[in-house]
Homo-oligomer: A and B are copies of this chain.
Amino acid sequence: MTRPHETSLDLVHIGVMAERVGLSLCTVRYYEEMGLIEPTTRTAGGFRLYGPEQEDRLRVLKTMKPLGFTLDEMRELVQLIDDARRAKPGSRHARTLLERIGAVRGEIALRRANLLDQVEATQQVTSALDTAVRHLS
């Protein structure tokens, strides 16, 4: 019934969106300045309004961040996903996109392996602490 033209109903202010995805207002605005994301629209007074697709985008960005990617790389990735969404399946363009996606997946696997290494490394720190504990008691 209620199909108010075209645009979605659940547009939210930056505060709500930031809270939802777990990023600070500052970060979201900075990501916009760096060209990683844009609000769906703005109010007459200039307030940013975000729709659900922006929420997805922000979630992707948030998960990428701790993997040690730079903002440039993160922009590349979300761009890539966007392009893929819009590309004609099976087309020539689609194939080159598939290749780039493969490369990105490789990068992610690498970072993931690094994270696991770091997890193991924590053992060394705790064992250093263990030594201290044994000495003290």
Chain A residues close to B by CB (< 8 Å):
56, 59-60, 63-64, 66-67, 77, 80-81, 84-85, 87, 89-90, 94-95, 97-98, 101, 104-105, 108, 111-112, 115-116, 118-119, 121-122, 124-126, 128-129, 132-133, 135-137
Contacts and interface: CB of A to CB of B under 8 A. Distances in A.
A16 B124 CA distance: 22
A56 B132 CA distance: 14
Number of copies: 2
Main secondary structure of the interface of A (DSSP, over half): helix
Contacts of A126: 105, 108
Given A94-B136, A101-B129, A136-B98, A122 B63 contact: yes
Nearest to A134: B89
